[in-house]
Homo-oligomer: A and B are copies of this chain.
Amino acid sequence: MADRKHVVIVGAGFGGVRLAKELAKENVRITLVDRHNYHLFQPLLYQVTTAVLSPAEIAYPTREFFKNFKNVEFFLAKATGVDQARRVLQTDHGEISYDYLVLSAGGTTNFFGNASVERNSYAMKTLQEAITLRSHIVHEFERASKKTAPAQTDERRRHLNFVIVGGGATGIEMAGAMVELFSIFKKEFHSLDFNEVNVTLLEAMGSVLPMVPPDLQQHTIDVLRKKGVNVRLNTAVTGYDGNDLTLKDGEVIPTKTVIWAAGVRAQDFIKDCGGEVDRAGRVIVEENLLVKGSDRVFAIGDCASFMHGDMKRPLPTVAPVATQEAVQVKQNIMALIAGKTPDQLGKFVYHDLGAMATIGKGEAVMNGPMPVLGFNLKASGFFAWIAWMFVHLIRLAGKYSDFTVSVKWIWNFFFGTRVARIILSKME
């Protein structure tokens, strides 16, 4: 017992949980550290924001994964740094010493240093942020409904202008789900003129969804526009004071709601872990996933910067990268325990599974090699949407969620039910 090696994992996201599950079967002791007591299924966060799903359906108690593994201990704390010389992880609840450490702390929103945007816009990376944004969106309609006098038109329109910044998967999915949510509001806010409601998607580049081919990008834009989303490309944001969003060309959009889905960076503490970080704050890892310069600290997923061979940019911040890296790290840790040296460890090779995104009910795009089918598949429309649902359901954490989420999606598809439209006040 006493001589079992202690592996400390920071972060219970896709990578951290997968790694802990893999290691749990081995003769090691594992401490999984996270600042939340749940594993968050982040790809569906926008469905909490738009009241399709309840928080508990995408947030799974981390301890439940490991109830049958007594060698896994969960520790609720926020990591603050690593002292590699003393082999300790620093947290807001004290230090934890390790034999091997794996950083899988995920990412946070990247505002690219724009303080006014960071202060006033809504991010969508944590469950609390999603709940806060959901409350805010519903509340804006309540506020607008109190300002129906002609003299209040400007103020009312500001409440009914919703801007999403960023044309990646999150921005696209959010835009599609928002217009559908608003079509439900249309039946309930009798005093509002819904011609005054606007959903705008701003993208700084020339197209959306960089991970799919140009024809699917165009298809996505066409579908969003048909749904009523005002898609604007080559449009960069320079500032936002909470009332007016300023664009690079000087144009001003009056709005109380800017949803920032334009960038991801690593958590701040990653720079204090004794490694070297890239521009997005991600720690640079060797091909064996060891943090550069370390022989017992690994990093995986969104907080790691993996760029080797002829790669032009680091691996993307998506779940399959994190889970595949977890499997490699597990093998490498067991190899180190068995006496191997760092240069003898296996090198990580990423198998791209492609990309997919929904654009509201009944519409999605997908592109990528289908390992099961053995060929590349590019698809859009209803079929891609069914595939999207299927892929997401089998990736959800539990049978229970699989079931209730399926039910909610079916209900939503046929009846447009969105029950979770609760304004939760923090002041109460």
C-beta contact mask, A391-405 vs B, less than 8 Å → 1, else 0?
000000010110110
* CB nearest neighbor in B for A126: B428
Instruction: Return the contact of A56 from the options B54, B61, B145, B187 (Cβ within 8 A).
Output: B54
Whether the Cβ atoms of A424 and B142 lie closer than 8 Å is: no
Whether the Cβ atoms of B131 and A424 lie closer than 8 Å is: yes
Interface check A127, CB cutoff 8 A:
yes
Whether the Cβ atoms of A61 and B421 lie closer than 8 Å is: yes
Residues of B within 8 A of A417 (CB): 400
* CB nearest neighbor in B for A55: B422
Given A67-B187, A428-B128, check contact A422 B146 (CB 8 Å): no
Residues of B within 8 A of A425 (CB): 128
Interface check A269, CB cutoff 8 A:
no
A398 CA to B126 CA in the complex, in Å?
Answer: 30
Interface check A351, CB cutoff 8 A:
no
A400 CA to B67 CA in the complex, in Å?
Answer: 32
**Of A188-196, A211-219, A226-234, which stretch is located at the interface?**
A188-196
- Range of interface residues on A (Cβ < 8 Å): 35 or more
Interface check A348, CB cutoff 8 A:
no
Interface check A60, CB cutoff 8 A:
yes
Chain B nearest CB from A31 CB (Å) reads 11
Whether the Cβ atoms of A419 and B401 lie closer than 8 Å is: yes
A328 CA to B61 CA in the complex, in Å?
Answer: 47
* CB nearest neighbor in B for A94: B146
* CB nearest neighbor in B for A36: B423
Assembly stoichiometry (copies)? 2
A60 CA to B70 CA in the complex, in Å?
Answer: 41
Residues of B within 8 A of A411 (CB): 400
Interface check A138, CB cutoff 8 A:
yes
A64 CA to B63 CA in the complex, in Å?
Answer: 37
Given A54-B54, A54-B55, check contact A422 B189 (CB 8 Å): no
The winner among A55, A63, A126, A420 for most chain B CB atoms within 10 A is: A63
A66 CA to B190 CA in the complex, in Å?
Answer: 10
Whether the Cβ atoms of A189 and B63 lie closer than 8 Å is: yes
C-beta contact mask, A168-209 vs B, less than 8 Å → 1, else 0?
000000000000000000011111000000000000000000
Chain B nearest CB from A424 CB (Å) reads 6
11 A-B residue pairs with CB within 8 Å: A54-B54, A55-B422, A61-B419, A70-B190, A128-B424, A128-B428, A129-B428, A400-B417, A404-B404, A407-B407, A426-B426
Interface check A93, CB cutoff 8 A:
yes
A426 CA to B423 CA in the complex, in Å?
Answer: 15
